Amino acid sequence: KNQVEQSPQSLIILEGKNCTLQCNYTVSPFSNLRWYKQDTGRGPVSLTIMTFSENTKSNGRYTATLDADTKQSSLHITASQLSDSASYICVVSARDDYKLSFGAGTTVTVRA
């Protein structure tokens, strides 16, 4: 069973609107959580990295939140642009384990 679950699987939003993606994980003991953007046919690009003590982190129009107690994270995209169309992947790493746990991703489609 995947230790990182993302929802929704996909979503379509209009340009300029906001959206929020969810990530629930069971990875333990927790080290850090990362959100990546993956354009079709490209490798993942890091958006944010959060450790246990961080509740929120922003990168431009992307804001990630983390609740380590409930093991939930969200990625909020503000004022979406057509270029935001991509798959967004939540990745969690455990302490003392170099292997990463990947979510299946949320595919975001931004339409004009």
Partner 1 sequence: GAVVSQHPSWVICKSGTSVKIECRSLDFQATTMFWYRQFPKQSLMLMATSNEGSKATYEQGVEKDKFLINHASLTLSTLTVTSAHPEDSSFYICSASAGGLYTEAFFGQGTRLTVV
Residues in contact with partner 1 by CB under 8 A are 2, 4, 9, 36, 41-46, 49, 89, 98-100, 102-105, 107
Closest separation between CB of residue 63 and partner 1, Å?
20
Complex with partner 1: residue 44 or 77, whichever CB lies closer = 44
Closest separation between CB of residue 103 and partner 1, Å?
6
Q: Where are the alpha helices (DSSP H) in 1-112?
A: none
| Alpha-carbon distance values, 84 to 3, 38, 71, 107 (Å) | 26, 10, 26, 10
Complex with partner 1: residue 30 or 102, whichever CB lies closer = 102
Backbone angles phi, psi at 85, to 5 degrees: -60, 115
* Distance between start and end Cα atoms, the chain: 37
Complex with partner 1: residue 68 or 104, whichever CB lies closer = 104
